[in-house]
Amino acid sequence: MVTLKEVKTKKDLKAFVKFPFKLYKDSKYWVPPIISQEIKTFNKKENPVFNDAEARLFLAYKNNQIVGRIAAIINWLEVKDQNQKKMRFGWFDFIDDLEVSQTLLSEVEKIGKANNLEFAEGPVGFSNLDKVGVMTEGFDSMATMITWYNYPYYVKHYEAAHYQVEKSYSESKFPFKNVKPEFFFKAQELIKKRYQLKALKLTKTEEVMPYADKMFDLFNKSYASLSSFVAINDVQKEYFKKKFISFINPEYIKFVVDKDDNMIGFAIVMPAFAKALQKAKGKLFPFGFRYILDAKKNSKDVIFYLIGIHPNYQNKGVHAVIFKEYYDVFTKKGIETCFRTPELEDNIAIHQIWKHFDPVVYKRRKTFRKVIS
């Protein structure tokens, strides 16, 4: 028999965060989070998303052992402002036991019904900057610090609960040697001249910070047309600046501005931290920091995390300016492989940007939806 326990104490929260460490202890592809950071994600005093959202966390027990977990999430900005009556769920992990997964999903659906929501969708986080999707292909590839990994059996549990595919995502990679400068070197010079643009060359984090708010504003504008997009507000901007920007090499953050210093394009690339996080085993001390700093400085693999172009400048080749800047940096650093984060398969515009580099899709993931009203 499966019993549920709602997370109410610090001890329960730590057990919630640490459950995957046990579930994936024999997997060489799972990448652990930093436990302290994961705990802060669910701290209402630390994470400003709780100003407009709520989450209830549950642990599933069988024979007095934790066998599953789930986060039931309501983003009230999405529900009230966008009229999306969605019950979100994420951080959904479980042993290969249908009773466990169905009990957890049933609790999410019950919460959704109690709040007059119409459907449940997951796995997703609070917003578009969180992890998304259950893996359906690519189980023999290492995860990244910004994606969830799962066993192949997860999909059958969604199907058994009568969930249907809602969104499909792909992750691709390409060797840096595929990047041929002739594709964009000449074009980017013409584009900069035609639209009076310039790329900012930033080498210190403190140089990045004055532009961070403009970047998040542009993120909101450039991603607004995507399904399920929830804009980042001013309080969340401050939170994400502290959480992410210190992790990223400043020369991996690229801004393109016009003659009046208005931002019209940006991109964020992160060093590949996966192997460092595996070595850290969820802890920053005593050696986790060292592994992460070493990866930040020396990783030969990079992850394209975000790229955004102002709607008025899309399809005008601005990405060529950004790629030129990265080409110079990556050549100097000896970068070998470029990875892309999950991108909606129906986002044709983003796939067109990368086509010249002959990317290979190596993972696919999906979110699943069920009507609950």
Pairing mode, strands 343-344 and 360-371:
unpaired
Single-letter amino acid code for the residue at 214: K
Supply the pLDDT for residue 228. Answer: 67
Q: Distance between CA 239 and CA 127 in Å, rounded?
A: 13
pLDDT of residue 365: 98
Pull the structure tokens for residue 175: 């060797």
The C-alpha atoms of residue 334 and residue 337 are separated, in whole angstroms, by: 10
pLDDT score recorded for residue 225: 79
Question: Is residue 227 over pLDDT 70?
Answer: no
DSSP 82-95: S---EEEEEEEEE-
Report which of residues 230 and 365 the model is more confident about.
Answer: 365
Residue 172: HSE in the Cβ half-sphere, 13 Å Cα cutoff: 18
Cβ pair 342, 365 in contact under 8 A:
yes
Domains and CATH numbers, the chain: 3-169 (3.40.630), 175-364 (3.40.630.30)
Prediction pTM value: 0.94
- The string of pLDDT tens digits covering residues 127-137 is 888 999 999 99
More confident call, 355 vs 343: 343
| pLDDT band per the 50, 70, 90 thresholds, residue 184 | confident
3-state helix, strand, coil in the chain (%, to 5): 40, 25, 30
- Has residue 263 got a pLDDT over 90? yes
Q: What is the DSSP-derived secondary structure letter of residue 139?
A: T
22-74 tens-digit pLDDT: 999 999 999 999 999 999 999 999 999 999 999 999 999 999 999 999 999 99
Q: How many CB atoms lie under 10 A from the CB of residue 239?
A: 16
- Reported as type and span, the H/E element at residue 277 is helix 274-280
pLDDT digits (tens, 9 = 90+) for 71-122: 999 999 999 988 999 999 999 999 999 999 999 999 999 999 999 999 999 9
Decide if 324 contacts 185 (C-beta within 8 A). Answer: yes
Classify each residue of 193-227 as buried b or exposed e, where b means 16 or more C-beta atoms within 10 Å of its C-beta. Answer: eebebebbebeeeeebeebbebbbbbbbbbbeeee
